[in-house]
């Protein structure tokens, strides 16, 4: 789902929001916007998928959130400044790609996505993460890289299925306490933050295979990490 433009999505879908403001006659001369989105979903590796990557979207059309059957949604590389609460209605989502937008926050309703396994929210303007994200206990991959995050809510400690966490290029001074409860972590990316120490609790991550901390100001390492 990366940031690649879907060849099957015509430009008219990105113009739905503008067309909704057109004349009443115009609106009734074409199929409903919801149906037009539905026609351009595709089955990809068994999942109902819609890519709206690189469509120049500054807001998401309301009709998008009526596609409750969607399992993969790619909104990467647009100009979105916010997500509506309606995102919580897509309760079958497994993968949500928000990479490369201008999001300053994620709505609390994201916690309603109980089936979500992959969330890419990197390269935005996030300064915090909603506590409700901790309700997404099926998450396996979470990327929050290239934001302005200094900490994570304690509620994320319930993410026992998480195997990959990317927090690189943020404002983190101390590894968030909740991270040490993510026992399934195999990959932890903390490069280019503001870390000076790594707590001994890092040894609690018994499945951790890859830890990236370059680009910080770490003076000493726990004995469990020292070579």
**pLDDT tens per residue across span 76-113:** 999 999 999 999 999 999 999 999 999 999 999 999 99
Other beta carbons less than 10 A from residue 220's beta carbon: 10
Paired strand residues for 49: 42, 72
Listed in sequence order, the residues at least 6 apart from 7 whose beta carbon sits closer than 8 Å to its beta carbon are none
**pLDDT tens per residue across span 138-167:** 999 999 999 999 999 999 999 999 999 999
- H-type alpha helices, the chain: 16-19, 24-28, 33-39
Q: Which domains does the chain have, with CATH numbers?
A: 33-225 (3.80.10.10)
Q: Name the DSSP class of 96.
A: E
């Amino acid at each position: 789902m990366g940031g690649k433009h879907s060849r099957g999505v015509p430009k008219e879908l990105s113009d739905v929001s503008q067309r909704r403001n057109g004349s009443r006659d115009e609106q009734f001369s074409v199929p409903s916007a919801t149906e037009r989105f539905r026609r351009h979903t595709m089955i990809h590796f068994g999942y109902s998928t819609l890519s709206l990557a690189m469509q120049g979207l500054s807001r998401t059309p309301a009709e998008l959130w009526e596609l409750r059957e969607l399992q993969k949604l790619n909104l990467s590389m647009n100009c979105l400044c916010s997500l509506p609460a309606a995102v919580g209605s897509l309760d079958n989502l497994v993968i949500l790609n928000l990479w490369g937008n201008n999001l300053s926050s994620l709505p609390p309703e994201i916690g309603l996505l109980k089936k979500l396994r992959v969330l890419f929210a990197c390269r935005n303007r996030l300064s915090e993460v909603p506590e409700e994200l901790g309700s997404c206990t099926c998450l396996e991959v979470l990327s929050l890289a290239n934001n302005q995050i200094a900490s994570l809510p304690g509620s994320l400690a319930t993410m026992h299925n998480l195997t990959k966490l990317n927090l690189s290029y943020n404002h983190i001074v101390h590894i968030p306490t909740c991270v040490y409860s993510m026992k399934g972590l195999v990959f932890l990316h903390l490069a280019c933050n503001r870390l000076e120490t790594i707590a001994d609790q890092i040894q609690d991550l018994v499945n951790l295979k890859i830890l990236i901390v370059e680009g910080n100001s770490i003076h000493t390492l726990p004995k469990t990490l020292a070579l």
